[in-house]
Each structure stands twice: as structure tokens, then as C-alpha cells.
């Protein structure tokens, strides 16, 4: 291991210990490596930018972020909450089930866990705490677990980023995420039923008969968005990258024309926030490319591939080993860091063992998303703790229960790849 790589590792660990933003830690570590290894920093960063901007899939990221922020500003979350309450609110622990179902609906519109947590998640937490039977920690834990459906159900920003890194088909990845997302939702609902029985949580209040038609009508319009997006992608009308622009335009039309709750001032605020979030994501990707260059330049990727090959692992053994390691690393590393740093290192071994990169990608993304709700460094936990003022110790006490069923689903997907690959193969992706 070279001195430059040691310095990179020290800088990375120091940034993590100091609780610096992930993007600053990664970018600073990468620049330190280039500087100490006497590389041309300006040239390499310029090449990285040019390579990144040449990837069509990158165009989808800011558009999906914009679409999610427009939907949150247009109060679509509240409308979907009322509709979900009409469907599952009668179950014991009703508001927990409503939260999961609302996130299933919103996940096909937002594409990221942070958008799910800060939008529909905040609506759900407010409703659960208002009822009085969900303590703050449990309400945040339910919303955190349900927010993970956003990055798995298409359209998904993490799946687009994985496609950029791996070269896998975005369309195949979107299809592959559907069944796992529903299994995750089912596992969360089962857990909520168990908790509701043990803690005697009540059912949610019923919707008055006279309001039911209004509630259904209010939810039908936003639910046309996933139909338009997925139908357009699978029918070939537009590509997954173009679908991101369609999502943003459709969301703005809903807010401006249908609900009439978006004005120039609120749209400007949405554009500014979307630009800020997009800049952070783009900087994160640039940083990961620089660190990946360091890993490749030091020969770590080829050495790891050779080490794994020498172990003579079967594809199943490889998947089990890697995902156990990801779960352990997820307690101290952010999911985005693991996606950007470890996936490029492991992809040569994935191809060498004949593992379908779509299967590997979906399972890995689920694992990385579990990391964002795993104490002590779960990003979603920090976001919701900040927004709700619920202490982290209360959230940490409850969140572990929600990590368990999601982890079980992930390992089921490892053992049975066809659950992930069934839909992509059905639609002609091989």
C-alpha cells in the first residue's frame, strides 16, 4: 500500500469521525490522494467531469430530484395519505400500514429515500404522533423503514447511479426493483401488525362516507404519473432517461393546472432546492470517480478480484459474503459511499463469476438502503431526527426492529435470483 493511499484512508476516516458531510469527505480524500501521488489534479478532475457528463443516465438524476420536490410542494403526499387511510386504516396499527402504502404510491414518483422521508415521511409522522398512540421514536422508525421503498421501486435514483457505474440497463434495473419493493412493503406491514398487537395500537379513524369519493378522486390524478412513466418506458415511447424529464413536467402540470397550489415563488424555491440537491449528488459522483481512480491506480480492484477468484467461491457464496460485509460496513458507512466506492471494485468479480449484474445491483442497493437507517450513522435517521426534533436515542431504540425484516427480504433475494430477474426476462432483457 502506497503512502498516498494511506493518506487517502486517513483523510477519509478523519472526515467520518469529524462528521463532515459525505461529499466533502470523499472529495477531499480524493484530492489529497491526487496531490500526494503527484497527479495532475486539474486534468484528472476535468476528465472526470467530461466522462460523467457524457453518460446519458446522468441526465435523469437532477430531473427525478426536481420531480420529487415539485410533488412534495404540491401536497400530493397529503392526498395519497388520505387515500391509503381509506384502504388500510381499519387494520390494527392503522397509521403504520397507511404509511407503508402511501410510500408504495409515492416511491414510484420520488426515486430516493431522502425525498420519501422528508415528504410523505413527515406527513406520516405528523399523523401518527397526532393520534397519540405512536411515540416519536416508533413513528420515525416506521417512516424511515417505509422510505426505503423509494430507491427500489422505479423510477429510482440509486438504480440509475448503479447503471452509470456498471453499464447495466436502466430499464432492466427498474423492472427488477418492482417485486423486491412489494416484498419489502409486505415485510414491513407484517412487522407493524406484530407491533400493533403487542403494544395494543389502535386502528386509524375511518373516513366519513361522504368524503370517500372526494378522497379517491384526489388520489387518482397523481397516481397517473407512474402509469405514464412506466408505460412510456416499457412501450418505447421514451427512454428511462427521458422519463425523468416527463416526471418533472407532469408534476409541475399537476401543481400548476390541477391543484393550483404552485406559484412562481414556490416554484423558484423548488428549483433552488433541487439545484442544491443535484449539485451535492453530482459532487458525490465526481468524488467517487476520483476515489475509484485511486483504487484502480493502486491495483486494489485487480488484487481483490484475484483474491476472490483464488478463494474459488461459488456465485451464491460470493453474494452471501459480500452482502454480510455490506451489512457490517453499513453500520459505520453511508449507503451512497458504499455504492460509489465498493461496487466498482467488486464488478469484475461479479462478471467473472457469471452473476447477473442486474441481480447484484438490486440486492446491493437494498443493502445500501438498509445502511441509511442503521444506527449510528444512518442518514435518514439524522434527517428525520432533525426535522421532527425526536432524539436519536429514541429512534435508535425502535429502528432495529425494522432492519430485521428488510434484511430477511434481502437474503431471500440473494438465494432466489429469479424473484429479481423474472420481470426483466419477461420484458426481453437478458
Query: Per the structure, how many domains does the chain have?
Result: 2
- Domain extent, residue 3, equals 1-39
Are both 115 and 34 inside the same structural domain? Answer: no
Half-sphere exposure of 147 (CA within 13 A, CB side): 32
CA dist 215 and 172 (Å) reads 34
Are both 203 and 264 inside the same structural domain? Answer: yes
pLDDT-derived band at 309, boundaries 50, 70, 90: low
Q: CA 283: distance to chain centroid? A: 17
pLDDT of residue 423: 92
- Helix-then-strand count for the chain, H and E: 23, 0
Are both 15 and 158 inside the same structural domain? Answer: no
For 275-296, what is the mean pLDDT? 76
**Nearest Cα to Cα of residue 141 among 82, 186, 188, 197:** 188
Are both 25 and 131 inside the same structural domain? Answer: no
Are both 28 and 91 inside the same structural domain? Answer: no
Are both 133 and 73 inside the same structural domain? Answer: yes
Mean pLDDT of the chain: 82
Are both 21 and 154 inside the same structural domain? Answer: no
Are both 215 and 245 inside the same structural domain? Answer: yes
One DSSP character per residue, 298-312 reads: TTHHHHHHHHHHHHT
Residue range 219-260, pLDDT digits in tens: 788 778 777 877 787 777 877 667 778 878 888 888 888 888
pLDDT at 315 over 80: yes
Q: Which residues lie below 8 Å from residue 26, measured CB to CB, with a gap of 6+? A: 12, 15, 284, 287, 288, 290, 291, 337, 340, 341
pTM value?
A: 0.78
Are both 230 and 163 inside the same structural domain? Answer: yes
CB count within 10 Å of CB 331 equals 13
Residue range 94-104, pLDDT digits in tens: 888 888 988 88
**Dihedral angle over CA of 165, 166, 172, 178, nearest 10:** -60
Residue range 361-395, pLDDT digits in tens: 999 999 999 988 888 767 788 778 877 888 888 99
Are both 11 and 48 inside the same structural domain? Answer: no
Are both 31 and 59 inside the same structural domain? Answer: no
Tell me the three-class secondary structure of 119-177, residue by residue. HHHHHHHHHHHHHCCCCHHHHHHHHHHHHCCCCCCCCCHHHHHHHHHHCCCHHHHHHHC
Residue range 110-135, pLDDT digits in tens: 667 776 777 777 778 888 887 667 88
Are both 252 and 351 inside the same structural domain? Answer: yes
Amino acid at each position: 500500500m502506497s503512502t498516498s493511499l494511506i493518506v487517502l484512508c486517513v483523510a477519509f476516516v478523519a472526515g467520518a469521525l469529524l462528521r463532515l458531510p459525505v461529499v466533502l469527505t470523499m472529495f477531499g480524500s480524493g484530492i489529497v490522494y491526487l496531490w500526494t501521488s503527484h497527479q495532475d489534479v486539474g486534468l484528472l478532475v476535468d476528465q472526470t467531469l467530461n466522462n460523467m457528463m457524457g453518460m446519458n443516465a446522468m441526465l435523469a438524476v437532477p430531473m427525478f430530484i426536481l420531480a420529487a420536490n415539485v410533488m412534495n410542494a404540491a401536497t400530493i403526499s397529503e392526498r395519497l395519505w388520505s387515500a391509503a387511510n381509506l384502504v388500510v386504516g381499519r387494520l390494527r396499527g392503522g397509521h403504520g400500514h397507511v404509511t407503508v402504502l402511501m410510500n408504495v404510491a409515492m416511491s414510484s414518483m420520488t426515486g430516493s429515500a431522502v425525498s420519501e422521508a422528508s415528504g410523505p415521511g413527515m406527513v406520516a409522522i405528523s399523523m401518527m404522533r397526532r393520534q397519540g398512540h405512536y411515540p416519536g421514536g416508533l413513528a420515525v422508525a416506521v417512516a424511515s423503514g417505509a422510505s426505503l421503498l423509494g430507491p427500489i421501486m422505479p423510477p429510482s435514483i440509486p438504480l440509475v447511479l448503479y447503471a452509470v457505474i456498471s453499464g447495466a440497463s436502466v430499464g432492466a434495473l427498474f423492472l427488477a426493483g418492482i417485486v423486491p419493493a412489494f416484498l419489502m412493503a409486505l415485510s414491513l406491514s407484517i412487522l407493524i401488525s406484530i407491533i400493533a398487537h403487542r403494544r395494543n395500537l389502535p386502528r386509524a379513524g375511518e373516513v366519513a362516507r361522504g368524503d370517500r369519493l372526494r378522497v379517491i378522486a384526489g388520489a387518482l390524478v397523481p397516481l397517473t404519473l407512474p402509469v405514464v412513466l412506466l408505460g412510456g418506458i416499457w412501450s418505447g415511447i421514451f427512454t428511462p432517461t427521458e422519463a425523468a424529464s416527463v416526471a418533472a413536467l407532469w408534476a409541475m402540470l399537476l401543481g400548476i393546472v390541477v391543484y393550483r397550489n404552485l406559484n412562481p415563488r414556490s416554484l423558484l424555491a423548488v428549483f433552488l432546492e433541487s439545484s442544491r440537491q443535484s449539485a451535492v449528488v453530482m459532487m458525490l459522483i465526481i468524488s467517487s470517480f476520483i476515489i475509484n481512480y485511486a483504487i484502480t491506480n493502486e491495483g486494489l480492484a485487480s488484487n481483490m478480484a484475484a483474491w476472490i477468484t483464488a478463494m474459488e467461491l461459488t456465485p451464491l457464496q460470493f453474494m452471501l459474503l459480500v452482502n454480510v460485509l455490506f451489512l457490517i460496513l453499513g453500520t459505520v458507512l453511508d449507503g451512497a459511499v458504499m455504492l460509489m466506492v465498493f461496487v466498482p471494485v467488486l464488478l469484475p468479480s461479479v462478471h467473472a463469476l457469471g452473476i447477473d449484474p442486474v441481480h447484484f445491483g438490486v440486492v446491493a442497493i437494498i443493502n445500501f438502503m438498509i445502511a441509511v437507517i442503521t444506527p449510528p450513522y444512518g442518514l435518514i435517521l439524522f434527517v428525520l431526527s432533525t426535522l421532527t426534533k425526536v432524539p436519536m436515542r429514541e429512534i435508535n431504540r425502535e429502528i432495529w426492529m425494522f432492519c430485521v425484516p428488510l434484511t430477511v427480504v434481502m437474503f431471500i433475494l440473494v438465494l432466489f435470483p429469479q424473484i429479481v430477474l423474472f420481470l426483466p426476462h419477461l420484458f426481453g432483457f437478458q
